[in-house]
Amino acid sequence: MLVANRGEIASRVFRTCRSLGISTVAVFSDADASLPYVAEADVAVRLPGNAPAETYLRGDLIVAAALRAGATAVHPGYGFLSENASFARAVIDAGLTWVGPSPASIEQMGSKIGAKALMKAAGVPVLEAPAAPTEADLPLLVKASAGGGGRGMRVVRSLAALDAEVAAARAEAESAFGDGTVFVEPYVEQGRHVEVQVVGSTVYGDRDCSIQRRHQKVVEEAPAPGLPDEVRAALHEAARKAAEAIDYRGAGTVEFLYDEKSERFFFLEMNTRLQVEHPVTEEVLAVDLVQKQLEAAGVVSATVDPSTDGPTHNPMGSAIEVRLYAEDPAADYAPQTGTLTRFEVPAIDGLRVEAGFASGSTVTPFYDAMLAKVIAWAPTREEAARRLAAGLSRARIHGVRTNRDQLVAILTSDAFLAGEVSTAFLTDGGPLDASAEDLGPSGDERSVRTAAALALAETAKAARRVQQRIPAGWRNVGSQPQRLEFTDGTSAEWLGTRVGYLVDGVTVVSAAPDRVVLERDGLRTTYDVAICGDRIDVDGPLSHTALERAPRFVDPATQVAEGSLLAPMPGSVVAVHVAVGAEVTEGQPLLVMEAMKMQHTVAAPRAGVVTELAASVGQQVEAGVVLAVVEEQA
**For 531-554, what is each residue's pLDDT tens digit?**
999 999 999 988 899 999 998 877
User: Is there a cis peptide before residue 223, judged by omega within 30 degrees of 0?
Assistant: yes
| pLDDT given at position 50 | 81
Whole-angstrom distance, CA of residue 224 vs CA of residue 222? 5
| 310-313 long-range contacts, CB within 8 A, separation 24+ | 310/199, 310/202, 310/203, 310/204, 310/205, 310/285, 311/205, 311/285, 312/203, 312/204, 312/205, 312/236, 313/232
448-504 tens-digit pLDDT: 999 999 999 999 999 888 887 788 877 777 678 899 999 999 999 999 888 889 999
Q: What is the pLDDT of residue 148?
A: 61
Round the CA-based radius of gyration of the chain to a whole number and report it: 26
pTM for the structure as a whole: 0.85
- The CATH fold assigned to 2-99 is Rossmann fold (3.40.50)
For residue 196, the surrounding DSSP H or E stretch is strand 192-199
3-state SS record for 285-305: HCCCHHHHHHHHCCCCCCCCC
Q: Which pLDDT value is given to residue 174?
A: 79
Segment 327-371, tens digit of pLDDT? 999 888 888 999 999 999 998 999 999 999 999 999 998 898 999
Q: Higher-confidence residue: 312 or 9?
A: 9
Domain definitions of the chain by residue range? 2-99, 128-186, 189-316, 323-429, 445-541, 556-631
pLDDT band at 567 (very low <50, low <70, confident <90, very high): confident
Region 323-429: CATH code: 3.30.470.20
Task: Give the integer Cα–Cα distance in Å for 162 and 154.
Answer: 9
> CA-to-CA distance for 587 and 590, rounded, in angstroms?
9
Asked if residue 606 lies in contact with residue 563, where contact means CB atoms within 8 angstroms, the answer is yes
Task: Report pLDDT for 597.
Answer: 64
Per-residue confidence (pLDDT) for residue 17, from 0 to 100: 98
The fold of 189-316 is: D-amino Acid Aminotransferase; Chain A, domain 1 (3.30.470)
- Looking at residue 286, what is its pLDDT? 94
Q: What is the pLDDT of residues 9-66, one digit of tens each?
A: 999 999 999 999 999 999 999 999 999 999 999 999 999 988 887 899 999 999 999 9
Has residue 309 got a pLDDT over 60? no
Q: Which range, 42-51, 289-298, 306-315, 488-497, is most confident?
A: 289-298
CB burial of 43-59 (b: ≥16 within 10 Å; e: otherwise) equals ebbbbeeeebbebbbbb
- If one compares 168 and 256, the residue with the highest pLDDT of the two is 256
pLDDT score for 306: 47
**pLDDT number for residue 164:** 85
Q: Tell me what pLDDT residue 147 has.
A: 61
Q: What's the one-letter identity of residue 22?
A: I
- Check for a shared fold between 2-99 and 323-429: no
pLDDT at 319 over 50: yes
For 432-522, where are the E strands, in sequence order? 482-485, 491-497, 500-502, 507-511, 515-520
The domain defined by 128-186 carries CATH number 3.40.50.150: no
User: Of the ranges 280-284, 382-386, 449-453, 619-623, which one carries the lowest mean pLDDT score?
Assistant: 619-623
Q: Alpha-carbon distance 307 to 245, whole Å?
A: 17
Question: In the predicted model, what is the mean pLDDT of the chain?
Answer: 89
Do 284 and 349 touch, CB atoms closer than 8 A?
Answer: no
Pairing type for strands 251-259 and 216-222 reads unpaired
Cross-strand pairs, 142: 154, 184
Q: pLDDT category, 180, cuts 50, 70, 90?
A: confident
126-129: which pairs have CB atoms within 8 A and are 24 or more residues apart? 126/266, 126/267, 127/185, 127/186, 127/188, 127/257, 127/266, 127/267, 127/268, 128/185, 128/186, 129/183, 129/184, 129/185, 129/186
Question: Alpha-carbon distance 127 to 145, whole Å?
Answer: 14
Cα–Cα distance for residue pair 79/272, rounded to 1 Å: 11
Domain 556-631 has CATH 2.40.50.100: yes
